[in-house]
Structure 1
Amino acid sequence: MATNGSASEQTPSADGSHFAPTLLYTAAKLYYDEEATQAEVAAKLGTSRATVSRLLSEARRQGIVRIEVIAPSTYSQDGLAERLATALGLDNVYLSAPLPPATPSKPTVDVMGRYLAPAVSKALGAVGLMPGDILLVSSGRTVYEVAQFDLDRIPGVLVAPTVGGNDQPEEWYQTNEITRLISNKLGGRANYLFAPALPGADLHAIIHSDPAIQRVLELWPQAKCILMGVGAPPLLRSDIPRFVPTGSASLRDSVGDVCSRFYDRDGNSIAFPGSDRLIAVELAALPKIPVGIAVAVGLDKVAPIITGARAHFFNRLVTDPATAQEILAHITAEDRKDVS
């Protein structure tokens, strides 16, 4: 977006502000309408993040930005989170604010992080993680988008990836990058896994003898919490890790995946060519982790969420109200079908 000068070119306005109204408007438009982060706004305007914060505060003071705070009773989902937790057999469900309708210029994947991050932060805060506790994080677009936004700090927590992926071109499948982002947000200590998700046979043998990699793998069974995305059925996805052989006949039975481990409608693990070499947390290990937090939204995630919850791959869920309602509707339809 073109601007009328950088933030350093300050012109006093009539009410005494040291920022030109056009600059206030540009910063506010970038941040609120275009969903840019403060760091991105600062880069576009050629200024510091601190100055962007002051610009946004001044824009609100002058009425250029108007923020409406709605009391919870006004948009209450009538116990939606509690009903969903009961229906899925989960300990807790954390609902985000309703996501805005998707548009061609702003699909859901581009805006969901801003809405889900506060609910994820609340879910993590409820775990009671202490310095030295281990938090595992999966790859995937949802977790990656959440990692772009602020999370309440949990200093000293050890953050580690659940799957290899340093050979993947998309940043949301680069598990070390997600580990770095979340660790920085929490004030934790990142532990990186320098391995591809699906190495060849020769490299697989070498990887398992590497002390640095073994050190990370040994963190997995000690984890107190895991934060994971939930993948849609692989054959219905346009975005999937490069190592997944989508032409494999076995994946036709997959309803979804967590931590790059695919499962069928009964929660059974699905193998595919080479999956015995996959560097990822096993499905059987997930129920043994005290707190498993899944974060997912969208119609294509309904069946994977239901199956994952019933298989005890996670015991807490972060989602939006629309997805929560769709899950309940799906379960109700299942119950009616069983009765008939």
Structure 2
Amino acid sequence: MPRPKQEEDLRLLTKVSKLYYEENLTQDEIMERLQLSRSKVSRLLQRARERGIVKITVVSPPGLFPDLEAELENRYHLSEAIVVEARDPQSQSLLSRELGIAAANYLLRTLQDNDVIGISWGTTLSYMVAALQPRPTPGAHVVQIIGGLGPPESEVHATDLCRRLAQLLQCRLTLLPAPGIVDHVEVKEAILSDSHVRHAFNLFSQINVAYVGIGAPTPDSVIMRDGSILSWDMLDDLLKKGAVGDIALRFFDAWGQAIISEVDQRVIGITLEQLRQIKRVVGVAGGPQKIDVIRGALRGRLINVLITDHITASQLVR
């Protein structure tokens, strides 16, 4: 008595699945062995997965967080999230170094010959540049998107970061020859009249990828360390207006909206609205003090790629 068709279908589904997944035969080999067409083999394998005969499980190695990355991407509509393990959550310096290494790997993986790369400033981006391996990309172009902040000899200084990056990529470089913040709006207007400064500003619209740090306005942050960037009165005024953080010294609130302040009027660099026009903005930040700041940047669509640590990522998806 012939077997029922359903039983025969299940037998064939199971046989093809075992040959392909357990015996590692190719679809062409299965085709020859069972006298099936290649399209039939392909359809059978697809049906086996749909019916639960084949169940594929991806086991993540320790230190990798694909589920967290996917949840961040879905919740905040990110192009990509990269989550690294925070091996010592109490050490912001070590965490910044680990995030910098991850950012360097991302930059090298995604680098295109015609990229116009905007760079802000900060400790984590300095670690990113330090971790980069030389990759000659003569068609690329590095652009400084905020004037110099802090001591010019500092490795976190925007000018130094851009120079080092351009040397590693052996590509074109446009610096922004101006301080990042000045004392008076009149001084800013005079600086903006300089042809070299105007040239850098005109390139902002051509940037297709930007790498930015995300700062938290805390007493121990890099913008407050020596008082040369912001005073305590300025910081207090920004906090009263609802500032939770900044990108390139452009402060924003918990929803990623720009804080209009006297400080903002004296900054020489890219604006948050200009940042939103860039196709790919990579935010590199992590640590307990950065959770609300990163969340604000994500809500305001100021970044669309996030590189952070697994503890911060877990808080962001709660």
Q: TM-score, normalised by structure 2?
A: 0.71
Q: 1:88 aligns with which of 51, 76, 79?
A: 76
Matched residues in 1 for 2:179 and 2:163: separation?
17
1-structure distance, mates of 2:111, 2:88: 34
For 1:74 and 1:276, the matched residues in 2 are separated by: 47
Larger Rg: 2
Segments of structure 2 that go 5 or more residues without pairing to the other structure are 1-58
Q: Distance between the aligned counterparts of 1:186 and 1:94, measured in 2?
A: 23
**Separation (CA, whole Å) in 2 of partners of 1:186 and 1:326:** 35
Any conservation in 1 of the 2:250–2:271 contact (CA below 8 Å)?
Answer: yes
- Pick closer, same or farther for the CA change 1:227–1:181 going to 2, 3 Å: same
Aligned equivalents of 2:307, 2:130: Cα separation in 1? 16
SS in 1 for 2:132: coil
Match of 1:228 among 212, 228, 233: 212
Superposition deviation, residue 183 in structure 1: 1.9
C-alpha contact 2:255 2:297 (8 A) present in aligned 1: no
CA offsets 1:57-100 (integer angstroms, 9 cap, x no match): xxxxxxxxxxxxxx95344435111112112221110123x233
Deviation at 1:270, TM superposition (A): 1.3
Q: Which residue of 2 aligns with 1:179?
A: 162
- Is 1:289 aligned to 2:273, yes or no? no
Does residue 204 (structure 1) correspond to residue 188 (structure 2)? The answer is yes
Name the CA shift for 1:286/1:201 in 2 (closer, same or farther; >3 Å). Answer: closer
Aligned partner of 1:158 in structure 2 is 141
- Tell me which amino acid in the other structure corresponds to 1:178: L
Structure 1, gaps ≥5 residues long: 1-70, 333-340
The answer to whether the 8 A contact 1:112-1:145 is kept is: no
Counterpart for residue 146 of structure 1? 128
- Identical positions, percent: 24
1:116 matches 2:99: yes
Q: Is the 8 A contact 1:127 1:291 kept in 2?
A: no
Q: Note if contact 1:94-1:317 (Cα within 8 Å) is conserved in structure 2.
A: yes
Distance 2:311 2:201 in 1: 37
* Contact 1:117 1:150 (8 Å CA) reproduced: no
8 Å contact from structure 1 (residues 294, 314) kept in 2: yes
Change in 2 beyond 3 A, CA 1:116/1:267 = closer
Q: Is the 8 A contact 2:76 2:298 kept in 1?
A: yes
The residue type paired with residue 231 of structure 2 is P
Correspondence 1:316 to 2:305: yes
Which residue in 1 is equivalent to 2:7? none
Distance in 2 (alpha carbons) for counterparts of 1:188 and 1:294: 23
> Deviation string for 1:116-171 (max 9, x for gaps)?
2442134334545223x310011111111222112462612111111111664672
Report 1:269-284 matches (<5 A): 269-284=258-273
Q: Secondary structure at the match of 1:82?
A: helix
The 1:180–1:115 alpha-carbon spacing in structure 2 relative to 1, beyond 3 Å, is same
Moved more, 206-215 or 293-302: 206-215
The separation in 1 between residues aligned to 2:301 and 2:136, in whole angstroms, is 26
Counterpart amino acid of residue 210 in structure 1: D
Q: Which residue of 2 aligns with 1:247?
A: 233
CA distance in 2, matches of 1:175, 1:207: 17
| Secondary structure of the corresponding residue to residue 93 of structure 1 | strand
SS in 1 for 2:223: coil
Q: Secondary structure at the match of 2:61?
A: helix
Partner AA of 1:214 in structure 2: R
Aligned to 2:87: 100
Deviation of residue 263 (structure 1)?
A: 0.6
- How far apart in 1 are the matches of 2:177 and 2:295? 32
- Pick from 141, 156, 176: which aligns with 1:193? 176
**Which of 204, 215, 234 pairs up with 2:199?**
215
Whether the 8 Å CA contact 2:134–2:168 is kept in 1: the answer is: yes
Deviation at residue 277 of structure 1 after TM alignment: 2.5
Find the aligned partners of 1:78 and 1:197 in 2 and give their Cα distance: 37
- TM-aligned CA distance change 1:75 to 1:202, over 3 Å: closer
Structure 1 pair 126–238 and aligned structure 2 pair: CA distance change class (3 A): closer
- Alignment size in residue pairs: 252
